[in-house]
């Protein structure tokens, strides 16, 4: 008993922490918040300030307050901006649409494979792991109208009747060339997304449908596709936001040419900011893009939420 009493009377080692427990979570989060403030919030606020200024670095004139003048010029006077938006819309709608169709179809095929699936998925993901600049350089060699393999193969397949075209110099096909390169690189991403959704479906659902007499086609249309729609919507949203920022392949393949026929909104913003050094005008275009992407994201997320709510009923 004496030994136990002496143990209880021993003083505790160390000093009590001067930080109160209720402040500890705030102090732990503070470094991350400071970094976020430095790299995200401050640039956003600074860019918002630039939108109301006319600031041309190519002249010695100081920044001038123009209120909403930059937005008015972009929206109502700049035809080149709308051309870039139209090109971006084509890449978003057609390009991402092809990626979804091809990715879903290939994912359904890969999901049926029982042996060697890991190897097949690894090979399919090679384009995604290539840097966009490198992919653009590869396709520039493929599209070469003098020594490129694409025109050579077209000549062989047509028996010399047609030797192809200048894929990157012809205004009628230059944008299609960029679209095909983007589809090649990012379709595997959709395959991976859809395949993950397919493997998350419990086997019991298909077994119950099979017992009820459902055909494979009925299972695909009434069970599989509805269950993977939320996953596909997320994949579409991610790819749409990435396509709005498409720059690398455009810069490497055509640099917006011929003329301005393949300029995307990201590439045109780059030209205004880093070639013409019009800071206020560039900031206004950037905020318009941010507004468009935000609206599109809200629409898709709302659709996904409604889909999930219907599925849970």
Q: Is the pLDDT of residue 290 over 60?
A: yes
Is 37 contained in some domain?
A: no
Question: What pLDDT is attached to residue 13?
Answer: 47
Confidence of residue 12 (pLDDT cuts 50, 70, 90): low
- Residue pLDDT, tens place only, 210-230: 888 888 788 888 888 888 988
Is 30 contained in some domain?
A: no
Is 270 contained in some domain?
A: yes
Is 146 contained in some domain?
A: no
Cα–Cα–Cα angle for 18, 23, 26, rounded to 5 degrees? 130
Q: What's the chain's average pLDDT?
A: 87
- Residue pLDDT, tens place only, 130-151: 999 999 999 999 999 887 899 9
- Residue pLDDT, tens place only, 158-201: 887 887 889 999 999 999 999 999 999 999 999 999 999 998 88
Domain count, the chain: 1
Domain that holds residue 80: 47-126+186-312
Which pTM was predicted?
0.85
């Amino acid at each position: 008993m004496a030994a136990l009493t002496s143990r209880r009377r021993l003083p505790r080692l160390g000093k009590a922490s001067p930080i109160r427990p209720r402040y500890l979570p705030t102090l732990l989060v503070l470094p991350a918040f400071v970094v976020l403030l430095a790299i995200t919030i401050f640039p956003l606020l600074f860019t918002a300030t630039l939108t109301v200024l006319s600031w041309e670095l190519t002249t010695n004139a100081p920044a001038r307050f123009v209120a909403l003048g930059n937005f008015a010029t972009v929206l109502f006077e700049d035809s080149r901006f709308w051309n870039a938006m139209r090109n971006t819309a084509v890449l978003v709608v057609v390009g991402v649409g092809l990626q979804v169709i091809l990715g879903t179809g290939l994912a359904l095929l890969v999901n049926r494979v029982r042996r060697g699936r890991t190897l097949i998925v690894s090979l399919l993901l090679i384009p995604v792991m290539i840097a966009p600049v490198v992919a653009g350089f590869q396709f520039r060699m493929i599209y070469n109208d003098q020594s490129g393999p694409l025109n050579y193969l077209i000549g062989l397949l047509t028996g010399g009747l047609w030797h192809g075209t200048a894929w990157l110099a012809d205004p009628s096909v230059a944008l299609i060339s960029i679209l095909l390169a983007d589809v090649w690189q990012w379709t595997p991403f959709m395959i991976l997304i859809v395949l993950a959704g397919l493997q998350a479906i419990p086997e019991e659902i298909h077994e119950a449908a099979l017992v009820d007499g459902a055909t494979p086609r009925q299972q695909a249309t009434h069970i599989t596709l509805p269950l993977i729609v939320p996953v596909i919507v997320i994949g579409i949203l991610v790819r749409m936001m990435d396509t709005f920022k498409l720059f690398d392949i455009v810069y490497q393949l055509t640099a917006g040419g011929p003329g301005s026929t393949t300029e995307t909104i990201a590439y045109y913003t780059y030209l205004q900011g880093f070639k013409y050094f019009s800071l206020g005008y560039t900031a206004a275009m950037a905020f318009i893009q941010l507004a468009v992407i935000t609206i599109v994201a809200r629409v898709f997320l709302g659709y996904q939420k409604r889909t999930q709510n219907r599925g849970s009923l």
